[in-house]
Amino acid sequence: MAKINCIGILTSGGDAPGMNAAIRAVTRSAIYNGLEVKGIMRGYRGLIYDEIEPFKTNSVSNIIQQGGTILKTARSKEFQTAEGRQIAYEALQREGIDALVVIGGDGSLTGARIFAQEFNYPIVGLPGTIDNDLQGTDLTIGYDTALNTIMQAVDKIRDTASSHERLFFIEVMGRECGFLALNGAIASGAEAAIIPEMMLQQDQLADLISNGFRKSKNSSLVLVTEGDITGGAMAMAERVKIEYPQYDVRVTILGHVQRGGSPTANDRILASRMGAAAIDALLDGQRNVMIGIQNDEIVYVPFSKAIKKNKPVQQDLLNTLKVLSI
Ligand code: ATP
């Protein structure tokens, strides 16, 4: 196995709070271990267009508290082609970068997996996404901050919902994954969460209505995961207007507010631990794994497992929400 002297680091896909803390941790622990570090701008795009710069300890000063990513992020169509990846590989050779740390979501880690296999190139991934949709890790970097943002927003919407005695559908991010909606609902004391994982099993809206959600309350908050599977909050509200016109219904789409802001202490600590673990993993000879956390222990998750769809939702979360919203 070739010795690693220089690592490259990039952030890719959607930004997530805590990515900067991860960049800082990777950079500092690489330097601590005697490695050279290069920052690659705008994800895989930066490899193709040679946007690469040397990183020193102070390149990552004062960023642990900042949302977003100082490396910027982008979506690169070219990297999805064999020609694009060849150009990226040549850039890495030219720059003397022996291994990569990729911080991003399932798309970014899918790209990493393909690239690593094609060129037999060492890559370690960090789960950077607010959606918490990667397998093999209890948490992803950015999820806790987004959850706190959702909780604070729902607390505010509750004031209007209860004053006007309304039913609110609040749309949150997550695409195929209901963690933000489900835990956001538990944290904010909402009545229900309509999540993709439960779409096939039951008609969540009909259940909610038939359980008589206004029996003991004069307002209701329902969190809905965005995307095609649930249809989103607008579609829910339209259905209520037609099927249950007695309800005064409103919609709030939280949108990109969920992706921004200063990371929580938990996200900063998670990102710092995972960033340091990425360097330990590379120096340990680990290849093509994502750093995960399970039961508060760092684990290595093969890319093929990490990017598998349909991360299971714990049944106890569903039960807790149901029991506490009577
Ligand atoms: P988020 O979960 O926040 O959306 P993500 O990492 O899943 O983040 P994507 O837009 O899906 O975001 O992927 C980011 C980038 O990863 C893509 O723009 C592309 O460059 C690369 N990528 C994704 N899928 C592939 C693939 N099949 N082959 C090669 N590269 C890919």
How many A from CA of 108 to the centre of ligand 1?
4
**pLDDT surpasses 80 at 216:** no
Cα–Cα distances in Å, from 47 out to 122, 237, 269? 15, 44, 29
Closest CA to 252 of 183, 326, 184, 204: 184
Q: What pLDDT, on the 0 to 100 scale, is given for residue 69?
A: 98
Nearest CA residue ID for atom 16, ligand 1 = 108
Question: What is the pLDDT averaged over residues 167-191?
Answer: 96
Residue 312: how many other CB atoms lie within 10 Å: 7
Q: What pLDDT, on the 0 to 100 scale, is given for residue 210?
A: 73
Question: What is the pLDDT averaged over residues 176-200?
Answer: 94
Ligand 1 atom closest to the Cα of residue 133 is: 2
Q: What pLDDT, on the 0 to 100 scale, is given for residue 212?
A: 61
**pLDDT surpasses 80 at 218:** no
Mutational pocket test of ligand 1: of 10, 11, 12, 132, the residue with most ligand atoms within 8 Å of the beta carbon: 12
How many A from CA of 209 to the centre of ligand 1?
38
222-246 pLDDT, tens per residue?
A: 999 999 999 999 999 999 999 888 8
Nearest CA residue ID for atom 14, ligand 1 = 13
Closest CA to 47 of 2, 22, 15, 11: 11
Side-chain-facing half-sphere of 203: CA atoms under 13 Å: 9
Ligand 1 atom closest to the Cα of residue 106 is: 7
Q: Is the CB of 197 under 6 A from ligand 1?
A: no
**pLDDT surpasses 90 at 219:** no
Ligand 1 atom closest to the Cα of residue 109 is: 6
96-129 pLDDT, tens per residue?
A: 999 999 999 999 999 999 999 999 999 999 999 9
From the list 131, 133, 144, 267, the catalytic residue is 131
Mean pLDDT of the chain: 95
Q: What pLDDT, on the 0 to 100 scale, is given for residue 2?
A: 85
Closest CA to 219 of 167, 155, 150: 167
Closest CA to 15 of 63, 69, 66, 62: 69
Q: Is the CB of 140 under 6 A from ligand 1?
A: no
How many A from CA of 202 to the centre of ligand 1?
31
214: confidence class by pLDDT, cuts 50, 70, 90 = low
Higher pLDDT, 176 or 218: 176
315: confidence class by pLDDT, cuts 50, 70, 90 = very high
**pLDDT surpasses 80 at 322:** yes
Question: What is the pLDDT averaged over residues 51-55?
Answer: 98
Question: What is the pLDDT averaged over residues 60-85?
Answer: 97
H or E element: which one contains 104?
strand 99-104
Q: What pLDDT, on the 0 to 100 scale, is given for residue 208?
A: 79
Question: What is the pLDDT averaged over residues 300-304?
Answer: 98
- For a pLDDT cut of 90, what percent of the chain falls above it? 86
Task: Judge whether 131 counts as a catalytic residue.
Answer: yes
pTM (two decimals)? 0.96
How many A from CA of 59 to the centre of ligand 1?
26
For the chain, helix (H) and strand (E) counts, in that order, are: 11, 11
Q: Map residue 261 onto helix, strand or coil.
A: coil
Nearest CA residue ID for atom 10, ligand 1 = 13
213: confidence class by pLDDT, cuts 50, 70, 90 = low
Question: What is the pLDDT averaged over residues 290-315?
Answer: 96
How many A from CA of 191 to the centre of ligand 1?
34
**pLDDT surpasses 60 at 215:** no
Q: What pLDDT, on the 0 to 100 scale, is given for residue 28?
A: 98
- For a pLDDT cut of 70, what percent of the chain falls above it? 98
Q: What pLDDT, on the 0 to 100 scale, is given for residue 297?
A: 98
270-296 pLDDT, tens per residue?
A: 999 999 999 999 999 999 999 999 999
